[in-house]
Structures are given as C-alpha cells and as structure tokens.
Amino acid sequence: MTLAVSSDRRRPLSEHLSELHRSIRKSAILIAIAAIAWAYGTDSLMRAWLNSLPLGAASLDLSVYSPFEWLEIRWSLAILLALLTVMPVLSFQLQRFARPGLLPRERTWLSVLLCLSMVMVPAVILATWGYLLPLFIEATEAADALEGVGARYDASALFRLALGFSWLLVTVMLATLSLSMARLLGLVEHGEARLRVRILLIFGGLLLLTLPVEYEGLRLLVAAISMAVADAISRTLPEAPLGRRRFDVEDMIASDGSVHRVAFIDCGCEGACPRFPSGTVHEGVAAPRCSALCLEPTEQDALADLVLHQRLSDVIIAGCDATPLPPSLRSSLDSMGCEYGGLGWLDAPESSDEAWRASSIRDLMHQPILSALD
C-alpha cells in the first residue's frame, strides 16, 4: 500500500538515510560539546546537592567506595545536563526528519509532544532533584534510624539513586504524554491497542535496560507499575477533541452480504453545491464537511487520513461524480482498497430542494452501497 498526501515528494532512500546520518552526527557532536562544557561544573553541582540533603550528622560520613564511581557519576550528570541543553535542537531535528513520512494528524501529534517535552522534562528533573529526592531521603532516614547504630552513605549510590529516580519520572512523563497526545488526536480510540501497546512496550523496555543497579530486583516491577500509571493517567483524557471531529464508523451489511464502512463527504464545491440536510446521514457513517475537496490539499490529506484510520471501504461525494479528484488522492484511495464515487448533485436541478437531497441520501442508505459507485 502506497499512501500519499499532497505535500509528499518522491525522494530516493539514500537521500533519507543521508539526512538521518547528518541529523545523528550533528546531534552527537552537540551533545559531546555540551557534556564537556558541563563536566567542568559538575563537581560543584554535586557537592551543592549533597550539602542540601537532609542527612544530619551523617552528611559528614559520605564515602566513595570506588574512585571510578565518582568519575562515572560526574559524566552521567554531565550527559544528562547536556541532553537537557540540546533538547530543543534534538526535537527540531527529529521533527524535520519524521515530518515527510507522517500523516497530518501524526505530524500534529509529534509537534505537540515535542513542544510539551521541551518544557516539562526540565521542570520534572529540577523538581525531582531539588524537592522530591531530599523529601524521600528525609523520610527514609526517619524510618530507618536505629539507636546506637551509625549511618554511613555511599555518595555515588545516592547519585545513582537520584539519576535513576529522575529518569524513571521522565520516562513515565514521556509515556503519559505520548499516550495522551495519541488519544487526543485520535490515534488511540476506544482503548484499541494499535498504538497504545507499542508505546508502553517501548518505554517499559527502556526502563528495564537503563535503571541503575540500585534498582536491581525491582526493574520489572518498577517498569510495569510505571507504564500502568502512565496508561491510567492518559485514559482520563477524552479522545480526539482538539478541534477535530471523531467519527464513529460502523460496519454496514449490503444486500449481497458484503461489509462496508462508508463516508459521505459533504463537499460545498466552492459554494456551488448545497449542503447535507441536518440529521439525514445514518449513524455509523462518517460525514465530514469540505469546502472544495478537489482544490484543497489539506482536505485531501484529511480524507486520506480518515480512510486509513477508519478503514473505510467506500467514499461518496455529494456534489460531483468524483472525476475532479486529483490523481494523487485517487492513487491513495486505490492503494487502500477504498471505492469512491459521487451523487452528482451539481448536475441535478432537483438538488436545490432540501427534501429531495434528504430523500436522495436516505434512499442510498437502503440500497446496496456499491450501487452508488457504479
């Protein structure tokens, strides 16, 4: 199946791979430069954070049990700060590379997700290190205090705990944002697993692979609970409002026993065609409104998107007989196995009568669907 939209341009695979290579190379260079720059200030940042922890007298007994651990933590923190620093550039590179291969709804979903991530990821990390982790350590210190027993802390373990916890929260937030944006834009509908399971598996697997050794034995449990929380939060959002109408398309059985999923396109043909009378389209049939389907590229893209995601088998246009549709849209509909035709109201003098238009739609709904496409 080859689905094309109006903005598509044919390009060889080698050009796409070259663009991906350039993006990865630029991003890697920027991250390396930013990490080196941050590395000069990580010592002071680490000491300031350790001094801010509510450890009481135990703060004087911080230890590092391996010289390499402190070096590892320094560079882990530097890389984390470098990623936050170059995140706007990374988001722009990702959006620019992915945009040509996405449908209109998917482009909007990716853009919104990236913009929210650029704001919320730094905010979550700052809140984690500045407030949540000190609060957690204070509660742990109070719960584990034993009379007559001194406490000594491994500074590198504290940092790994902080890095792992912040990464856990960021991953949950990104998974929640991904699921929420997919639901808001209609890419996850009625709890379908088409995209939802993929997102949960990707982020859950990422947690299993990246959590530090301090979380050993809890990786699977933490990943499962985290993804369950992200899924539960995303389910509180409605599906596909964002200025878009979501159509509940149902299977229709024609007289010959074939199954059809139908859309009636209420196309105004630049004002030359009258609109559908209110309440005449059967439930379970999509009825999007267009101003001029044959002239507006955005409406053509939206129709191709609707056919793909709703698995439409038949598209019926009110005004014309579908011959003015551009070749690119015809090719996309053909590749998806979608039949298309029209009612030809522009050539019918009776179309000025609202009762006649309503009767035309009702009669079609009681006939074999394919008869309208002959």
pLDDT single digits (tens) 237-282: 654 433 345 677 788 777 677 788 888 888 877 777 777 777 777 7
- Chain-centroid distance of CA 138 in Å reads 37
DSSP string across 259-305: EE-EEEEEE-TTTTSPPPPTT-SPTTSB--EES-TTT-HHHHHHHHH
Per the structure block, which two tokens stand in for 214? 């301090």
Which residues, given as ranges, of the chain have pLDDT below 50? 57-60, 193, 239-244, 368, 370-374
Is residue 91 helix, strand or coil? helix
Q: How far apart are CA 337 and CA 291, in angstroms?
A: 25
Amino acid 101: pLDDT: 67
Report the candidate in 308, 313, 317, 247 with the shortest Cα–Cα distance to residue 282: 247
Spans of all domains in the chain: 13-234, 252-373
Strands annotated E in 20-77: 62-63
Q: Does the 252-373 domain belong in CATH 1.10.3210?
A: no
Amino acid 373: pLDDT: 42
Helix (H) or strand (E) holding 72: helix 67-98
